[in-house]
Amino acid sequence: MKKVLLTILTFSLLISIFAIDGGNEVKAKGVESAHLQKSSINGLNKIVDKNGKKLITEEELLELFNSSDFNPNSTNQVSYFYTNIDNKTTILKLNLVVHNNKLTSVSLTDTEEKSSSITTAVTNQEKASPQFQILKKLPKPKPKPKPKKPKITKDVPYKKNGGTIKKDFINEHAYKRHKYDASRKSTSNRTQYGKDVDVAELRRLTMTQPDQAWSSRDKGGPWRTFYRKQFNKNISTKDTSTTHHRVIINTADSSKNTQFPLSFKN
Residue 175's pLDDT band (boundaries 50, 70, 90)? very high
3-state secondary structure of 84: coil
Tell whether the model's pLDDT for residue 9 goes beyond 90: no
Average pLDDT over the chain reads 82
pLDDT of residue 19: 40
pLDDT in tens, 32-88: 222 223 447 999 999 998 888 889 999 999 988 988 888 899 999 999 999 998 999
What is the rounded distance in angstroms from the CA atom of residue 145 to the CA atom of residue 230? 30
Are the C-beta atoms of 118 and 212 separated by less than 8 Å?
A: yes
**pLDDT band at 4; cut points 50, 70, 90:** very low
pLDDT band at 116 (very low <50, low <70, confident <90, very high): very high
What's the rounded mean pLDDT across residues 180-193?
96
Domain ranges of the chain: 44-116, 119-135+150-262
Task: Name the residue with higher pLDDT: 180 or 125.
Answer: 180
Interatomic CA distance for residues 111 and 93, integer angstroms: 6
Q: Which helix (H) or strand (E) holds 58?
A: helix 58-66
Which tens digit of pLDDT belongs to each residue from 133-174?
434 444 556 666 766 666 889 999 999 999 999 999 999 999
pLDDT at position 184 over 60: yes
> For residues 230 and 24, which has the higher predicted lDDT (pLDDT)?
230
Q: Which residues contact 236 (CB under 8 A, 6 or more apart)?
A: 186, 191, 192, 193, 194, 242, 261, 263
Q: Are strands 212-218 and 224-230 parallel, antiparallel or unpaired?
A: antiparallel
Q: So what's the pLDDT on residue 136?
A: 42
Q: What is the pLDDT of residue 264?
A: 82
How large is the average pLDDT for residues 93-112?
94
- The pLDDT assigned to 217 comes to 86
Average pLDDT value for residue range 83-107: 94
Whether 10 shows a pLDDT value over 60: the answer reads: no
Nearest to 214 by CA among 94, 129, 103: 94
Interatomic CA distance for residues 236 and 242, integer angstroms:
6
> CA nearest 233: which of 225, 243, 241, 223?
243
Q: Look up the pTM and report it.
A: 0.75
Between 244 and 68, the more confident residue is 244
Q: Hey, is 144 helix, strand or coil?
A: coil
> Which one-letter amino acid corresponds to residue 122?
V
Beta bridge partners of 93: 79, 110
User: Which amino acid is it at 67?
Assistant: S
Q: Could you tell me what percent of the chain has a pLDDT over 90? A: 58
State the DSSP string of 194-259: -TTB-HHHHHHHHHHS-SEEEEEEETT---EEEEEEE-SS--B-GGG---EEEEEEESS-GGG-EE
Mean pLDDT value across residues 5-15: 43
* H/E stretch holding 114: strand 102-114
